[in-house]
Amino acid sequence: MITFEPLWETLKRKNISQYTLIKEYGVSTGTLDALRKNRSITMNTLNDLCNMLSCDISDIIRFIPDQK
């Protein structure tokens, strides 16, 4: 499973709100909804987030192996 929990921690650490992502960085509300619900996003969106936040991919996503 891929989770975006690190993104919320990164935003908090950098003092950036979801509102700021929308208004100042141009992130769509649909993208934010997908992130909140751990749904799929494109690699391009992931790249854009890394560039916007000047962070590494591990600051945005975390992989958790599925339980069998």
| Structural contact between residues 59 and 5, judged by C-beta atoms closer than 8 angstroms | no
Q: Which residues pair with 62 in a beta bridge?
A: 3
Instruction: Return the percentage of the chain with pLDDT > 70, whole number.
Output: 100
Q: Which alpha helices (DSSP H) does 1-68 contain, by range?
A: 5-13, 18-23, 29-36, 43-53
Residue 68: per-residue pLDDT: 78
Tell me the pTM: 0.89
pLDDT of residue 38: 95
Overall average pLDDT of the 48-59 stretch: 96
**Contact present, 32 and 45 (Cβ < 8 Å):** no
Task: State the average pLDDT over residues 43-51.
Answer: 96
The CA-atom distances, in angstroms, between 31 and each of 12, 22, 67, 68 are 18, 10, 27, 30
**Predicted confidence (pLDDT) per residue in 1-30, tens digit:** 999 999 999 999 999 999 999 999 999 999
Please state, in angstroms and rounded to a whole number, the distance separating the CA atoms of residues 3 and 25: 22
